[in-house]
Structure 1
Amino acid sequence: MRTDDFFKVLLVEDEEVIVRLLERILAGSPSDGPDFPVFRLQRAASLSEGLERLAAGGFDAVLLDLTLPDSRGFETFSRLHGGFPEVPAIILTGLDDEKLAVKAVRAGARDYLVKVHMTPSRLVLSILNAVERQRQYLETKSLAQNLQESESRLRVLNGELHKANQELRELNRLKSNFVATVSHDLRTPLTVISSIADNLLDGALGPLTKEQALWVGKIENRSIRLNEMITSILDLSKLESGTSELRLQRVDLSGLIRSLLSQIELLAKAKGIALTHDLRETLPSIWADPGMLEQVLTNLIHNALKFTPPRGTVHVSARQDQAFVQVIVSDSGPGIAPEYHDAIFERFRQIREDVESGASGKGIGLGLAICRGIISQHCGRIWVESQPGKGSNFIFQIPLEVQPPDAGSGPILIVHGDRGAREALANSLSAKGFEVAAFEDPQRALPWVQEEGGRLGLALLDAALAAGAETLTQAIRTAKPGAPVVFLSVRSKDIPAGSKSPTVILPKPFKLQQVLGMLNDLVPAFQSASIEDDGDLWTPSAAEPPSLETRKILIVDDDEDIRASIELALRLRNFRVESLSRGDQVEAQLRQSPPDLIIMDAILPGIDGCRLCRELKSSGGAKGIPILMLSAKAQREDIEKGLNAGADRYMTKPFKNEDLLEAIGDLLAGKSERRPRETGTLAGH
């Protein structure tokens, strides 16, 4: 290859005259000047000799005659180029074989020179161009090869990354399943412990001494705390895996905070802590998941109470900050050093101040990590401002969210399958001056939407009316694209697949106050309506229930201890009780001795509890018999699965006897509609 000082050129030529001519030209002359390149020419008189010299290497170019003693014509170039394609070849040709030279150039030669027309400048320029073009070719070839190798490595890396992602997803799935399984398996014995403690405190096995009651109370309190830890682990697992789903609704943040503070006030007083607030009446409502937001606020306020000494203060304030709402929970506790301000939001992280403060009820370090995950899901952020000895301010802010499009002031469409609820809604809204069109089902409402939908103001649809609901919502979108649609349901899965924003979920049972408040948010033209609490608009009518003492309850659970503890609690209240351990025994029992209410576990041997519930409701075996489903699975999708299967209530383990008895009383009184709440979680249609 070429050095920095000269070009090494091989001349393959058998005519001495041509050799001497080329040697003289490439040697240069004083008239060529100092910039004339230096060539070192070596000569081979035959192709075989030329190939030997090329094999030794180091040549920058070769000048090749096609007519040699041992080779003639195009074959001469073909043999040389086939053996040494990296050395640029310039063909030397006579007038009679110029066509062969052109053919050689097409096959890879860098240039050709007709001997009789060759000039010194033409020769030198041809060599320099050939060397440069070959250099560029080799560079391009090297780059292409490197690119190909890089692409190959990238494909391998992409494959490895894809495999790693699949493995991570599988590990994440296994982790989530493991957490859910362990949580379920822990909640089941925890239910037994809690229920037995309740029964003992209720005197089911005789009166307790004061000291015995104290220790049984400790058992109950610890079981509650353990259940809270299990719930926290599940919540964090869902947040980290991205399977936690937001259920956005219009939330009165001021009202939510006031309600929470009223519930926590007694705890604060018991600790000798002043619980104050600054909540402005002008604070706007926000689009958020109320359950998750309540979880964040509860965690922050309880943490503040936990680390605030007696005679201290916990203060909660909220204000609008441009397009955000900001909430601050302040305490007069020991404060937190700056180096821990980020660490406290990490999972399982316990900081030094936790230990030194002597705070009771120390947790497992998940609460703030869950808060951060929830606030992040709301496109917000959370942080702490604190100094040792000066208390702490925990602050989070979330966006107000974009308002749904203005729908104007047209009529309100009501589609509800329950006549009482439909008429109550229509009459109440009409009395407030609204134009109302009310229908029993989507099929009857569709012609009205097709004719009058262009002036629609808002639609209130019962999400439980699955048949025709998707067609109706699509017709509404076509007739009035900006019209908000409000689904009346506790189950988001009831909402038709074609339903898109703007939509709102209004949980049942609902009040006129809620409906009008929602109208104020969605349709500015309705804001002049006066809002009063007119009570529940949907309270199913029921005859006065007979005495509970005459009621028979069937318990279906494969856990003997749970069956025994529930049966003991019910018999203590004079219920008649029968119990089964398998789901496939239920239908025969119903035929033989139908109960007034069924309490069943969601997971049963013989047949899955949800499947059994669905079959009992659809086949008529449990027609008119309310079903209370129990489960250690407490996530919202688990609750919805149970309710969608036909359960009238869903209660998560562990639960307190008083919550179980309240649910039984409601169901026996015909109150099967219930908004989800934590007890355990109690939910119903």
Structure 2
Amino acid sequence: MIIASILLSVRASYLQATFAVALLGGLVALEYYGLIPHVHLTGFISQELYQDWRFILASLFVFTSTIYISVYMATSIVRQLREKERQTVSLTKELRGKTEELQLAYDKLNEADRIKSQYLRKVSHELRAPLAAVQSILKVVLEGLTGEVSGKTREMVERAESRTWELLKLLNDLLILSRSREAKLEGRMEKVNIPEAVQRVIGLLRARFENKNVVVEAKIPSTLPPVLGDRESIEQLFTNLIGNAVKYTPRGGRVTIRAVSENEYLRIQVSDTGIGIPPEDIPKIFNEFYRAPNAVQFAKVGTGLGLSIVKSFVDVHKGDISVQSEVGKGTTFTVHLPLAAQDSEQHSSGGEETEVIGMEIEEHKVVDIKRR
């Protein structure tokens, strides 16, 4: 009966139970009236009881009750299970529909973001040339090549030139961010020598940290294996990380770059003795245009795009980036980039180090590069 209740409908299950009760009742009646022989099973009940109508009715009542109760319980459980199954199927269909809708919305969002990036890149590119021309003209005026500039006029022109430079920096960052997000680097991937890339970046930033009296140290073994990546993107990554470290480090501070190979990755750390990042701001520092409140107080000028660009380039290279910071003591950014496939010539994480060290000259420190 239980199997029948699982396989059949409720109505068919009760009909099956009724047929079983009727069949047993018919057999008992035929046996009671002697139409079929009685086979006695010794050891269960006495032989005379099968002729006692009260015992026969009680036995039939117990059997019938047991059959119908079993059918009721089984069909009730099966009904609930089937209802749950219908709900699951319905929910599955609904989730499948929602998934398709979400995928469609995601595709549309990606397309809108791509169009926005293209538009942003085009507008930034179109604006950069005239702004650069304006800045050049303002510099010519400030240098007195068009005639003497009075004090008040010079102040106004200097402010205009400064604002123009800030706009150019913003446009440049927007172009770099757009390029990092749309980067198709498969055809541009090559082996990039990290010590050489860091030296080039430090050379470009030399004037900036000389003016701030900040010492920059690059403690990088010259025998490090190369990473697999786009040279321009990796150098931009270092430019932003080291530039940020210098920018938010007070005068007389120190910035240290370290690198070591770990399994299939190169670990690069850029540490500074700067203002640090409050814990509540760390999850947001890679967001576009975000600057921590203490960063805004320390350096008024900034686009808030530098770390967004870094994160985009790290993601494109299938690496990762993390940050540790303590307010008032400094910040360390750690980047992992995949190593290039090894040639027959083996590299190691030890060996000669390329270091940038500070030297006391007159009233400020000049940074020089040497090998040791």
Offset, 1:250: 0.4
CA 186–319 in structure 1, closer or farther in 2 if over 3 Å, else same:
same
Give the equivalent residue in structure 2 for 1:666.
none
Instruction: Output the TM-score relative to the length of structure 2.
Output: 0.67
Q: In the superposition, relative to structure 1, how do residues 86 and 187 fare at CA in structure 2: closer, same or farther (>3 Å)?
A: farther
Matches of 1:229 and 1:238, distance apart in 2: 14
Which consecutive residues of structure 2, in runs of 5 or more, have no partner in the other structure?
Answer: 29-58, 347-372
Partner of 1:226: 167
Q: Which residue of 2 aligns with 1:364?
A: 303
Residue identity in the other structure for 1:397:
H
Q: How far did 1:145 drift?
A: 2.4
| Paired residue type of 1:88 | Y
Q: Cα distance 1:159–1:327, how it changes in 2: closer, same or farther (>3 A)? A: closer
Residue 199 (structure 1) shift: 7.0
Residue of structure 1 in register with 2:76 after alignment: 135
Gaps of 5+ in 1: 1-60, 62-80, 94-109, 404-520, 526-685
Q: C-alpha distance in 1, partners of 2:76/2:147?
A: 99
Contact 2:121-2:174 at 8 Å conserved across structures: no
The answer to whether the 8 A contact 1:90-1:130 is kept is no
Q: How does 1:154-303 map to 2 (within 5 A)?
A: 154-187=95-128, 189-194=130-135, 196-197=137-138, 207-209=146-148, 219=160, 222-237=163-178, 239=180, 242-246=181-185, 247-303=188-244
Are residue 384 (structure 1) and residue 323 (structure 2) matched? yes
Q: Structure 1 pair 138/198, CA: closer, same or farther in 2 (3 Å)?
A: same
1:187–1:227 CA contact under 8 A, matched in 2: yes
Change over 3 Å in CA distance of 1:207–1:327 after alignment to 2: same
> CA shift at 1:163, angstroms?
4.1
Provide TM-score, normalisation by structure 1.
Answer: 0.39
1:298 CA drift (Å):
0.8
State the partner residue of 1:48: none
8 Å contact from structure 1 (residues 111, 130) kept in 2: no
The structure where helix makes up a greater share of residues is: 2
Cα pair 1:88 1:134 within 8 Å, conserved? no
Residue deviations 1:629-684, cap 9 Å, x none? xxxxxxxxxxxxxxxxxxxxxxxxxxxxxxxxxxxxxxxxxxxxxxxxxxxxxxxx
For 1:116, which of 26, 35, 46 is the aligned residue?
26
Change (3 A) 1:195 1:302: same
2:94 pairs, out of 153, 159, 171, with 153
Distance across 2 between alignment mates of 1:389 and 1:161: 44
Alpha-carbon distance in 2 for matches of 1:314, 1:140: 66
Cα distance change on mapping 1:132 and 1:227 into 2, 3 Å: same
Tell me by how many angstroms 1:214 deviates. 8.4
Confirm or deny: 8 A CA contact 2:314 2:321 kept in the other structure: yes
Deviations 1:73-102, CA, capped at 9 Å, x for gaps: xxxxxxxx99x9488224767xxxxxxxxx
Deviation sequence 1:190-232 (CA, Å, 0-9, x none): 25424644776899xx643366788767655543432221232
Matched positions, count: 305
- Give the whole-Å Cα distance in 2 for the aligned partners of 1:356 and 1:210: 32
Letter in 1 for 2:15: A
The C-alpha deviation readout for 1:465-522, integer Å capped at 9, x for no partner, is xxxxxxxxxxxxxxxxxxxxxxxxxxxxxxxxxxxxxxxxxxxxxxxxxxxxxxxx4x
**Matches of 2:129 and 2:193 in 1, distance apart?**
36
Asked if the contact 1:324/1:399 (under 8 Å) is kept, the reply is yes
Q: 1:89 aligns with which of 15, 29, 33?
A: 15
Q: Superposed, which structure 2 residues align to 1:345-356 within 5 Å? A: 345-356=286-297
The CA deviation at 1:253 is 0.5
Instruction: Select which of 400, 403, 408 maps to 2:339.
Output: 400
Matches of 1:376 and 1:91, distance apart in 2 = 68
Q: Distance in 2 between matches of 1:129 and 1:311?
A: 88
